[in-house]
């Protein structure tokens, strides 16, 4: 009898420890970081075909911040204030996204499975003369520290001004951008072995252990967050002045990898500009 009880108890333990990979809509709700498309399952010939489009695929969705809302609404962070898309979990573990923005206007993520905090789902894409299936990996973000990446409050700087702003308002918008991207680079440094510079809409160029300015462009993503080109130039000049002070009197931060250093640099820039402009 004791042996039977012990056997049953062992089965209960094993059953309770087994990871539940089943999906439900509630398990998808929340904020996610799109990591990378896995292609190791492809054949040798398929990998050659995929190689012709790999950079474009990664550039399209890699390291984007996305949000599955509980009411079936979907948004990419960089298009948060546009008309939201929609999402639903279809039978057979298919994640369906419509009007979700570039790369996700019509998306079917098949064979979706949740492994701890990683959502995996396959997508068929065109790769030259054939179609291949890649597996997208998305990381669920639950740490409250990174909550501003997904909230309206944390993304308020993305709202285009309805009227001309004074220098204080422009400065606060610059500081909010730096704070947001400091968090973004921190989370990327923890979750990814690479980064995609185009995800960050600041006029910076990135080196392995350094950051520099690029020339001002009135039609750049950075400028689009300001009322007009003149005010975007003012914002750019704030960054340029902060960069000059850091270069002359500061020290570039040192971290465990160059991506976390970008995060630390954004924080230093924010502190420097706030001090220059007398903003607490």
Region 187-202: mean pLDDT is: 92
pLDDT given for residue 131 in this prediction: 95
**For residue range 18-63, what is the model confidence (pLDDT) as tens digits?**
444 568 999 999 999 999 999 999 999 999 999 999 999 999 999 9
How many CB atoms are located within 10 Å of the residue 88 CB?
14
Structure tokens at 186: 């921190």
Give CA–CA dist 123/44, Å, rounded: 18
**pLDDT over 80 (residue 153):** yes
More confident residue, 9 or 120: 120
Q: Is the model's pLDDT at 114 over the cut of 90?
A: yes
Give the DSSP per-residue string, 82-115. Answer: SPPEEEEEETTTEEEEES-STT-SEEEEEEEEEE
Give pLDDT, residue 264: 97
Query: Tokens in use for 130?
Result: 């054939």
CB 136 within 8 A of CB 34: yes
Query: Taking each helix axis from N to C terminus, what angle separates 258-277 and 167-191, rounded to the nearest 10 degrees?
Result: 160
The percent of residues in the chain predicted with pLDDT above 90, rounded, is 81
Task: Tokens for 255, please give them.
Answer: 């971290």
Report the C-alpha gap between 8 and 117 in whole angstroms. 30
Q: C-alpha angle 242/245/249, rounded to 5°?
A: 145
Burial 205-235 (b: 16+ CB within 10 A, else e): ebeeeebeeeebeeebebbebbbeeebbebb
Average pLDDT score, the chain: 91
Task: Please check the confidence at residue 1 and state whether its pLDDT lies above 70.
Answer: no
pLDDT in the model for residue 194: 87
pLDDT in tens, 241-265: 999 999 888 789 999 999 999 999 9
pLDDT of residue 180: 98
Beta-carbon contacts of 126 under 8 Å, excluding residues fewer than 6 positions away, are 53
Q: pTM value? A: 0.88
- In angstroms, the CA 214 to CA 136 distance is 32
Q: Residue 10: pLDDT above 80?
A: no
Going by pLDDT thresholds of 50, 70 and 90, the confidence category of residue 185 is: very high
- pLDDT confidence of 95, banded at 50, 70, 90? very high
Query: What does the pLDDT read at residue 132?
Result: 97
Answer whether residue 8 shows pLDDT above 50.
Answer: no
Tell whether the model's pLDDT for residue 9 goes beyond 70.
Answer: no
What are the phi and psi torsion angles at 119 (to 5°)? -95, 125
- 17 Rama sector, left if φ>0, alpha if ψ -120 to 50, beta otherwise: alpha
CA atoms within 13 A on the CB side of 49: 16
């Amino acid at each position: 009898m004791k042996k039977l009880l012990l056997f049953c108890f062992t089965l209960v333990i094993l059953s309770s420890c087994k990871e539940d990979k089943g999906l439900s809509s509630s398990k998808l709700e929340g904020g996610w970081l799109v990591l990378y498309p896995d292609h190791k399952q492809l054949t040798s010939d398929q990998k050659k075909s995929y190689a012709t489009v790999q950079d474009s695929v990664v550039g399209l969705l890699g390291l984007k911040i996305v949000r599955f809302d509980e009411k079936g609404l979907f948004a990419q962070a960089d298009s948060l204030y546009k008309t939201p898309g929609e999402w639903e979990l279809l039978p057979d573990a298919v994640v369906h996204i419509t009007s979700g923005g570039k790369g996700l206007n019509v998306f079917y993520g098949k064979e979706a499975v949740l492994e701890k905090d990683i959502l995996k789902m396959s997508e068929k894409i065109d790769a030259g003369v054939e179609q291949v299936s890649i597996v997208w990996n998305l990381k669920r973000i639950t740490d409250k520290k990174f909550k501003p990446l997904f909230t309206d409050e944390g993304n308020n700087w993305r709202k285009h001004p309805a009227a001309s702003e004074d220098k204080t308002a422009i400065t606060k918008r610059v500081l909010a951008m730096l704070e947001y991207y400091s968090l973004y680079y921190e989370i990327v440094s923890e979750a990814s072995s690479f980064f995609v510079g185009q995800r960050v809409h600041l006029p910076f160029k990135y080196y392995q252990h350094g950051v520099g300015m690029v020339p001002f462009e009135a039609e750049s993503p950075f400028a689009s967050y300001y009322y007009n080109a003149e005010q975007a130039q003012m914002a750019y000049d704030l960054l340029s002045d902060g960069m000059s002070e850091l270069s002359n009197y500061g020290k570039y931060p040192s971290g465990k990898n160059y991506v976390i250093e970008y995060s630390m640099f954004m924080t230093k820039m924010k502190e420097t500009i706030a001090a220059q402009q007398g903003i607490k």
